[in-house]
Amino acid sequence: MSQNTIIELIKSQEIEYVDLRFTDPRGKLQHLTLLSDQVDEEFLEEGMMFDGSSISGWKSIDQSDMKLIPDTNSPYIDPFYAEKTLCLHCNVVEPDTGEPYNRDPRGTALRAETYLKASGIGDVSYFGPEAEFFLFEDVKFSVEMNKVSYEVDAQDASWNTDSHYEIGNMGHRPGIKGGYFPVNPTDINHDLRSEMLSTMKRMGMKVDKHHHEVASCQHELGLIFGSLTHQADELQKYKYVVQNVANAYGKSATFMPKPISGDNGTGMHVNMSIFKDGNPIFSGDKYADLSQDALYFIGGILKHAKALNAFTNPCTNSYKRLIPGFEAPVLRAYSARNRSGCVRIPWAENPKAKRVEARFPDPAANPYLCFSALLMAGLDGIKNKTDPGQASDKDLYELPPEELKGIPTVCASLREAIESLEKDQDFLLQGDVFTKDQIRGYIELKWEEVYAYEHTPHPVEYKMYYSC
């Protein structure tokens, strides 16, 4: 969309405000808002200065001046503001040189797409994330030097079978691991999810379905695939809509991977494919109708899985999900139609739908960094002809211990993921997609989280050890 078209859109739609949105290294959407009469072609070309020192992991205060450049191909009307507001995703650049800022996650995604084209392997990469979330009606937590606690609640939660309500307890609710797929009144949030999906459709997003997920209070909406940077933009909008519609219903939505114990955690399966000259390069005559390049792509994902974890599973809570017993893909194996391994090849009749699904990511991930890292790992596999080994066409959850010993796993903690990234990052540096400075800054942020987590006593420790 041209700058002229944006100006005309502002006039024709009687836009009052323009919202400039960007994403910080941890993946949180940020914004600033200005009156629409301040936006002209020169503004869209030159961008807007802002204080980069306010963003964790970016500039120090002595180098804080940075610039936001709006992407004119990303406009959408915000459905939640009282005043009509046009939103634009932005790239972050250095104000003195105009060069992209190397720690800007969206810039990384754009460089990953450029690298793919330069590699000759493909023209475009498509990503289809499946981001789950939990809905609660009451959320309380405390982290003080003398108190660490949390409490969540929802009327449809499995633990409320004997709770007292003024209107009475209706009794219909999914049990533990029982959320797939009962109808209402057991599924009481159908209308809420419908409003989420309809809101996304009205915003121009490509969506298709919604349903209750396996765990109590857990849900999912369907995003239709798109190109890497565009789909990362869409996932940021997805999370924004989910949290704001939930808020309007008096509920709280979280993409935290494991907010409750004893039930399934929240994942974000990522479906990936590559096309060249309009043709799907993952379709072929090898295992599960994959091409040899697709198998090499899987090999790259499995080889670099532990380093990838730093971006695909970027919080300490991620590794409370990645444990055996809750349908979590902890084993570095692949197979067709099998949901128990790290990588699955979904069944597809149409060659253009042939894709590879990474099952270990979760929605706490920064989508720009997550998708870019997955692509770079896969391309590294193709480049180096990385053999993924034999497919594991069996239920890996039920393997005896002697067989499990031979299958490598993903990381068991954020500490392990960071340490793996420190040792294995060359594949990310190809084509300057990621930079050493960017990875170093990201690692520093993650070490802060690890230390905060590891240095804080846990209530379970009081239960187990207080009387030792």
Give me the active site residues, please.
51, 130, 132, 213, 220, 269, 339, 357, 359
What's 397-444 look like in SS3?
A: HHCCHHHHCCCCECCCCHHHHHHHHHHCCHHHHHHHCCCHHHHHHHHH
Paired residues of 75 in beta bridges:
none
Paired residues of 462 in beta bridges:
none
Paired residues of 130 in beta bridges:
269
Cα distances (angstroms) measured from residue 395 to each of 114, 327, 333, 336, 399:
38, 11, 11, 11, 7
Using CA atoms, how far apart are residues 444 and 462, in angstroms rounded to an integer?
Answer: 30
Question: Residues, the chain, total?
Answer: 468
Q: Please compute Rg for the chain using Cα positions.
A: 23
Structure token pair of residue 148: 């660490």
Cα distances (angstroms) measured from residue 189 to each of 169, 217, 235:
16, 9, 21
DSSP codes joined into one string, 16-57 = -EEEEEEE-TT--EEEEEEEGGG--HHHHHH-EEEEGGGSTT
Contact 271, 347 (CB under 8 A): no
Contact 360, 313 (CB under 8 A): yes
Residue 121 CA neighbour count, 13 Å, CB half: 26
Whose tokens are 């903690």? That residue is: 413
Structure token pair of residue 423: 């040792």
